[in-house]
Structure 1
Amino acid sequence: MTEPRMDTDLIIAGGGLAGATLALALARVVPELRVTVVESFPLSPDALPDDYQPSYDARSTALAWGSRLIFEELGLWAALSEHATPIRNIHVSDRGRFGATRLDAADHGQPALGYVADNRWMGLCLMRSLLETPVSWQAPAEVVGMTPIVGGVKVSIRKEGEEQTLTGQCLVVADGGRSGLREQLGFVTRTEDYGQNALIANVSTSDSHGYTAFERFTDSGPMALLPHGSPVRAENQSALVWTLTDSALEHILSLSDDEKCRQLQERFGWRLGRFTRIGQCNHYPLKLVTVDEAVRPGVALVGNAAHALHPVAGQGFNLALRGLVTLVEQFRKAVDAGVSIGDLSVLGEYQRLHRQDWQQTVQFSDSLIRVFGQSLPPLAAARDAGLVGLDLVPGAKRWFARKAMGTGGRKPVISAAESLQESEHHDR
């Protein structure tokens, strides 16, 4: 019996950074697939600005060196780099103690360890590139349900107050996990509440950042300051991620901007001189969210829908990006073999290949929180010794640098012109 022809091949729930990147990668690597993106925000080519004017309060994402390599393969890095501030040095320290370690891109033969790019700029670059592909969009709309059918899935979509359906071989959930679609589809999550919040803002300092990212661990939680602003001139603006308890967050938010800067000065110190300005403050609770089984026949979770990490090490989007590339590789192989992209053998292989990466990345970021979240003197002394040792032992420092640069795992291949040979995930 001939299976009915599907409306599309792949349905992506969510057109944010993860969903849009997946759609672009598929258009580049598996152009035979018909891809439909369902996004809750209205999208229109006419709404895309001709030029980009950076905002002081723009939210940003840390991109590891490995992520740059992926975007280069997608043909997107030339555009992204126009407003991507390089991270040439990383300074890790423990407030009030002597332990510290430093990473320098030059020691690894690279121009940068990573980059900081505004989310809006990344989204704009993705949308401009996607306009040149045959990817279809349903926006504004949202996926509200899914039913397995022979050969694929039937997805329910709510658009303009009415429900309609789309059939396809596979549904990829890339909506970040906040819509409730993941839970509605029966995926079981494990959540660990850190009892902390991340306060996000851009700040200005009297001294230039010198393209240095600072990771500062304090007795009340870690904070990070990432170089932000011009990609060609070291300026005085940094992107702040400040970890605070509920009560501390409430207190900080009640202060004037000048008082916020004074509090930040007291916690961070004077490595960047005086804090002179703090922009709009956003915040969200910090939780480690993982899904043990992120696939089932016809459905796969990607990005934050599959795993949400503490932002302390800037690993979240970079881990998601590597997962997207792994999924694209498996879709390419499936199409070449004449297998449905929603087949469990295809999605299960994606999960197997990506699992070790996310397990190691979760362990890396989570251990930083647990080790540096302890204020007992013996543990604090051990941390100091560890940071000093990390700074002095080349092998340990290279391992730490590979984690920070996102180059410690299996190398993804996304170019359609290259052979898709499977390699085992390992640290070299």
Structure 2
Amino acid sequence: MKRNKLLLTVLSLIMVMVLVAGCGGNNNAAKPSATGSAQASESVAPSEPAKKIKLTFWGGVPAEAGPQAVADSWNAENPNVQVEYIRYVNDDAGNLKLDTALLAGQDADLYISYTPSRLQKRIDAGVAVDLSAKTSDYNIDEQMGPDAKQWLINDKYYGIPTKKNMAFIWLNKKMLDDANLPIPPLDWTWSDVQEYAAKLKREKVWGLLQHEAAFTSQFDGTIAAEGYTKADGTSNFDNAYWKQGFQILHDMMFKDKSTPEYGEQLTSKMPLDTMFLKGEAAMLTAGEFIFRNANNLVDFPHDFQIAFAPIPKISADQTNFKYPGGLGDVLSVNAKSENQEAAWEFAKWYADGGMLPMAPGGRIPSSKSVDSAKAIDLLLKGVEDKYDRDSLNKVVFGQFESFQLNVPQQVVDARKEEYEKYFLNKQDIDTTLKNMAERHNQHIKK
């Protein structure tokens, strides 16, 4: 009897083990494939989801003025490569912020440089990808035209110049008409500007305002053709045209009082675009970047037409004057980025039309793949009556021999330190020019 009970117990345990094993086997068993074969199903490995990449893109334009729309458009088409736009202010502090992020290599995959001197510093720091190896993938010369060569550094491209640069004088046409002044001709001079500003100024209205970024345009254009150095290799910063131009500006500040004193403008941080659009200035030296405000009639309402004039020459006898312009907004890939290939794909897309949402803010794409007429339509859409079309076509979309400032940032900073002393009445004009040339010569010797 005991033997039978023992046998029954063993059999019961075996049956429980079989049932448990069977249940576990059912949970892990290969499910039949469409053909009913469990073995075939076991041989197919489950596919892994594609790795999502996040790119950070730095630029100086406010996000709401086009860059966010650019990022949104790309992100909708590329769910596995998402772009975040980060705005930096294009001044010394903002560029330092960007450069710090670039060196860290974690929060800046793509970025825009606005001057060759800034880009040169980033190349020297090793944070700009040399695009020479990508010519078969994307031909910058072919896409952007001959002006792209102004951005060659050591015969190489370290970014794509993406837009047509424009700098000019914005004019309140109603104030011109009230003063019986015509829209200036294309070949006007800074003596003409001084005369216009004196006639246009009145109580609480400046004759001329100038963005600091455009402050030296006429000086650089004066020697751009002959070079920043003389035939003997020494600095050309003490030339007679510069002396004439600096004196005119100084007289406008302190004698005519038709433009703000330099120190006043710096310390008060004048909102120049806003002042012009509010009718507090008759003329404004700036670039295409203020279209984004001029076209915004909700935040910047104005009832006058805007006309345009080119950057004036210092003297009428100049025959080789060049105008600030060419191409700009150079888009580079950070050499420290972990996602360089994805960043490069975005850069090509952006340059060849992805940047079109920036057109209403004045950023006209330079790529031959973009219909310029479409970009101009976007620029003027809904505000066509706010511009004098004839002067706009002649100046903003005219053909002028242009230049890019191609001196090192250290030289740009040094000369600024010197001319600031002159406009703050801390040193005379001759000492200013002498010091600018000497400091430039010191850099040349190095």
More strand by share: 1
Higher Rg? 2
Normalising by the residue count of structure 1, what TM-score does the alignment of the two structures yield? Answer: 0.27
Normalising by the residue count of structure 2, what TM-score does the alignment of the two structures yield? Answer: 0.26
